[in-house]
Amino acid sequence: MSYLILERTGNLEFRLVFDTELFGVIVPKGFCTNGASVPQLFWSILSPFTHAFEPAIVHDFRYCFPGGMSRCQADCEFLWNMKTHGVFWLTRWIVFLAVRTCGAFFFSPLGKRKFRQGRHWSKEQYEQADREHQQTKERVMRLFEDAG
């Protein structure tokens, strides 16, 4: 059994402290996520820290490191993971339609993380994020090699 242990790295960004298996996907230690990217205006209707949080971590991981998976497949996997995790049907369909509508801005078929939150970051913070991304990418590649 994997436990989800996160370290807060920013206002709404978290880093996994250990390799964690979620829905049959190993998300490596050091992976950064913002969970369910729900605008704060809508938190009273849909909090980003509810049942959809763990499926959203896998979805973020798939968007960063698709491993041959298309955006549509990642979004459908997200919908399925929300269903198996007990997210209310109306909530999961609202979230699914939102990612289908807006997800193209964030999906990276080449595995380059494009959705860092932070137009206000300094150059050093962007460089640190790029270093962390590269380290996580190398770790993911080692995990794929070990599994194959």
Give the pLDDT confidence of 42-85 residue by residue, as tens digits.
777 677 677 788 898 998 888 887 777 888 898 999 999 999 99
**Domain residue limits at 43:** 6-137
- Number of domains forming the structure of the chain: 1
Q: Cβ–Cβ contacts within 10 Å for residue 19, how many?
A: 14
Residue 68: count of CB within 10 angstroms of its CB = 6
- Asked if the structure places residue 143 within a domain, the reply is no
> First vs last Cα of the chain: how many Å apart?
22
Percent above pLDDT 90 for the chain: 7
Strand partners, 15: 7, 32
- Answer yes or no: is 1 within a domain: no
Tally helices (H) and strands (E) across the chain.
4, 5
Torsions phi, psi for 7 (to 5 deg): -120, 130
Residue 114 has pLDDT above 70, yes or no: no
Residues 54 and 35 sit within 8 Å (Cβ to Cβ): no
**What is the spatial distance between Cα 116 and Cα 1, in angstroms, rounded to a whole number?**
30
In the β-sheet with 32-33, what is the strand arrangement from edge to edge?
6-8, 14-16, 32-33
Confirm if 28 and 139 have CB atoms less than 8 A apart: yes
Residue 51 lies in a domain: yes
Say whether pLDDT at 26 is over 80.
yes
Alpha-carbon distance 75 to 92, whole Å?
Answer: 11
Q: Does any domain span residue 109? A: yes
pLDDT value of residue 144: 65
